[in-house]
Amino acid sequence: MASAALTAGASSEPAPLTGVKLIAAAFALALANFVVVLDMTIANVSVPHIAGGLAVSPTQGTWVITSYAVADAIAVPLTGWLAMRFGTVRWFLYSILGFGLFSFLCGISQTLDSLIVFRILQGLSGGPLMPLSQILLLRIFPKEKAGIGLAIWAMTTTTAPILGPILGGTISDNWSWPWIFFINLPVVAICAFGVGSLLGKFETKREKARIDVVGLVLLVLSVGAFQLMLDTGREHDWFESSWIVMLAVISAVSFAAFVIWELTDANPVVDLRVFRFRGFTFATVAISLGFGAFFSQVVLTPLWLQQVAGYTATETGYIVAWIGVFAVLLSPVAAGLIGKIDIRISICAGILWMAFISVLRASWNADVDYWTLALPHLLQGMGMPFFFVGLTALALSSVPQKDQTSAAGLMSFLRTLSGAMGTAVATTAWDMESRVARSELVSGMNDTGGTMDMLQRAGMTLEQARAAIERLVEVQASTLGVLHLFLASGVVFVLAGIAVWCAPLPKHVSMGSSH
């Protein structure tokens, strides 16, 4: 994973930066982390614009989100090897420049296929930037001020998802969707210049380290085939299609081979052996379930607001962004509770609070006002820090110090992957639930002919009256479908809360040495 290679050369550690150089370097590193995390959410509210611009369905448009997330997750395990092979600073520069190049190519894409290819390459380039920016921030700050470096990194990680929907909505409505990718370019230029000119002395020694090629190929094959199956299953009628069956078989066989290989290889690309620690296993199960449920809501809500409730992308961004207010304000509180109370209590409280908010969302209808929509987002942020920060602390405290780097990388990989898979499952389930609700609504309609006559007397043509009724049914069916999924997310959150109590309380709970 993002291994000890990241700290290669620690024995001859250069002097930390001070003054203006320290501020400038920290800004460049934090900005790089910010833009990578930002791109996970900036496209969420822009999906209808992207789908319309490329003449595809909004469901297909969500591939723009899932392809990036999957590629980002796959790149994380490679970070340690890449840093050792090419040098930490050098690979950071390669990654940020690649991220900029593929952002530009995403913006000029004319078809969905080309956009997804460049989005995958953008994710592969951006994946290593999160762990690399974190480790370099720790190296440029004096040891006694390392906490400031981590605070800067954590703040950018938390605030980027808040600004993503606002920026995405404003840009899509006032300019055009390609600009959600083009705005990365000046940011990339600043980061590359800052890191290239200020961090040269922090370069690590290059070594010809071996990489687990077999494990990597099996990982890409199993994850890629499974995600492709989830993304394309609906339009191919699932297992009625030989294409979907083939993807399922490839995914299952390659995953089984991947697990066997990684458990027996001396230098695995993903160290699955950390799952021998029960606390880490159940903490990871909880964060994977919780993040999958959370991210599916983050993607579905903007789609429903724009397609069904009639909100613009900008208005949607300003609704969704409320989720970050308490998430930022309460992060220090969540961190401060670590080690003072049974961490499982605060984690479980945070998860169950998010489950409660999911039920609150299920009271929405197609005619809700702004604050009815914004309030659950605002309140949901209260549970997020206790969920994310607490589970990270529980997971890393459950493994020995020597395994914490591997554990952190594996948890990051699974969290990001579960977000992508949760999105794919949720968008497919929404379509299915909407169809079921539509058939039930149509069969239960009374006096359709009378309503048609009334609409025609009001000045509509026969076709307009029929279209009005059809639209009404579609709106109600889509709304019922999304509300059912909010309730399902609530159930998944509860399961995550139960998983927390299957993890034993570690003797000493902290954020781990790798943090």
pLDDT in tens, 90-118: 999 999 999 999 999 999 999 999 999 99
Asked whether the beta carbons of 237 and 42 are under 8 A apart, the reply is no
Asked whether the beta carbons of 317 and 174 are under 8 A apart, the reply is no
Q: Looking at the structure, tell me whether residues 258 and 294 fall in a common domain.
A: no
The confidence band for 239, taking pLDDT boundaries of 50, 70 and 90, is confident
Q: Looking at the structure, tell me whether residues 249 and 393 fall in a common domain.
A: no
Give the highest mean pLDDT range of 216-220, 341-345, 368-372, 487-491: 487-491
The token duo for 336 is 């401060």
- CA 61 remoteness from chain centre: 16
Q: Give mean pLDDT, residues 439-451.
A: 68
Instruction: Determine phi and psi for 338, rounding to 5 degrees.
Output: -60, 125
pTM exceeds 0.95 for this model: no
Q: Which of 398, 116, 131 is nearest to 278 (CA)?
A: 398
Per-residue pLDDT for 317 more than 70?
Answer: yes
Count the residues in the chain.
515
Q: What is the pLDDT of residue 447?
A: 60
Higher per-residue pLDDT: 349 or 452: 349
Instruction: Determine phi and psi for 363, rounding to 5 degrees.
Output: -95, 0
Q: Give mean pLDDT, residues 299-315.
A: 86
Q: Which residue range forms the structural domain that includes residue 230?
A: 212-268
Q: How far apart are CA 134 and CA 33, in angstroms?
A: 8
Q: Looking at the structure, tell me whether residues 401 and 424 fall in a common domain.
A: yes
Q: Which of 253, 268, 283 is the last residue of a domain?
A: 268
End-to-end C-alpha distance for the chain, whole angstroms: 15
Instruction: Name the packing angle between helices 112-126 and 19-41 (round to 10°).
Output: 140
Q: Looking at the structure, tell me whether residues 194 and 221 fall in a common domain.
A: no
Q: Looking at the structure, tell me whether residues 315 and 451 fall in a common domain.
A: yes
Helix or strand or coil: residue 505? Answer: coil
Q: How far apart are CA 315 and CA 320, in angstroms?
A: 9
Q: How far apart are CA 117 and CA 468, in angstroms?
A: 39
Q: Looking at the structure, tell me whether residues 96 and 219 fall in a common domain.
A: no
Helix or strand or coil: residue 338? Answer: strand
Compute the Cα dihedral for 442, 448, 454, 458 and give only its sign: positive
Q: What's 362's domain CATH number? A: 1.20.1250.20
Q: What is the pLDDT of residue 143?
A: 75
Domain count within the chain: 3
Per-residue pLDDT for 190 more than 70?
Answer: yes
Distances (CA, A) of 507 to 97, 349, 397, 398: 43, 21, 8, 9
- If phi > 0 it is left, if psi is from -120 to 50 it is alpha, else beta; for residue 339 that is left
Q: Looking at the structure, tell me whether residues 216 and 203 fall in a common domain.
A: no
The token duo for 343 is 């961490």
Q: Looking at the structure, tell me whether residues 178 and 306 fall in a common domain.
A: no
Q: Looking at the structure, tell me whether residues 298 and 438 fall in a common domain.
A: yes
The confidence band for 6, taking pLDDT boundaries of 50, 70 and 90, is very low
Q: Looking at the structure, tell me whether residues 230 and 323 fall in a common domain.
A: no
